[in-house]
Amino acid sequence: MVFYSFQWLISVMGSKSVLELEQHLAESAEELKAILIDLEVSPVKLLTRVKSEGSIRAKLTNTPLNSLHGEKGDLKSMDQLGIRIIVETDNELENVFRTLSKREKTKVKDYVNNPRKDGLILQTNPKEIYQSYHVFTAFSNKVPIEIQLRTVEMESNRLALKHKYGEGYWKTPAFRRRKAELGDKR
């Protein structure tokens, strides 16, 4: 297991204080709300979070050092800031996803059309799947943010998996190893 120094952690997180990060998150959330209004989408829930230092430490501990660096040797942006949007219908989900995925310098993980087969990975129930769109982008403040998009049904399934297997089950070494054995490289 690799342990990272607190100074190295700060270099990954940047020198922004929690208050600065919360301000950036609020600014991004307001821009996102404006997009949703333009799309005539009223989310059932819109939740925000700043990833805790402990969560970042855990992620860094389980991430090979070489995968934290970009092509120019710089540290890749972490998913420090996040917004989760829960919508009622598949149509709303697709409209929001399509709009956000067209943004400049945006990356996506598509667990909707290519669901993560958590039940198969856990060797319990192959019908248990995780579905969500994860969109990595930035708004006018240029601060990277992860947006997770789900329908009410997808969120209900996610919560059922979390309740059944425990918080963070998808982060365990056994889960990641089994996922890799099955060829899922996401």
* pLDDT tens string 167-184: 888 888 888 888 888 888
Rounded distance between C-alpha atoms, residue 123 and residue 178, angstroms: 9
CATH of 16-115+133-152, one of 3.30.460.10, 3.40.50.300, 1.10.760.10, 3.40.50.11540: 3.30.460.10
Rounded distance between C-alpha atoms, residue 159 and residue 165, angstroms: 10
Burial class (CB within 10 angstroms; exposed 0-12, middle 13-18, buried 19+) of 121: buried
- Please give the average per-residue pLDDT across 52-57, as a whole number: 71
Q: What pTM, to 2 d.p., does this model score?
A: 0.81
Q: How far apart are the first and last CA of the chain?
A: 22
- For 107, which DSSP code? E
Is residue 101 pLDDT above 70, yes or no? yes
- Distance between alpha carbon 154 and the CA centroid of its chain, in Å? 15
| DSSP-assigned beta bridge partners for residue 112 | none
- Please give the average per-residue pLDDT across 1-21, as a whole number: 57
| Band of pLDDT at residue 185, cut at 50, 70 and 90 | confident
Is residue 105 pLDDT above 50, yes or no? yes
The CA distances from residue 56 to 28, 64, 173, in Å, are 21, 14, 16
The owner of tokens 């310098």 is 105
- Please give the average per-residue pLDDT across 137-151, as a whole number: 93
| DSSP-assigned beta bridge partners for residue 153 | none
Cα-based angle 133, 102, 91 (whole degrees, multiple of 5): 50
Q: Which of 78-82, 102-106, 143-147 has the lowest mean pLDDT?
A: 78-82
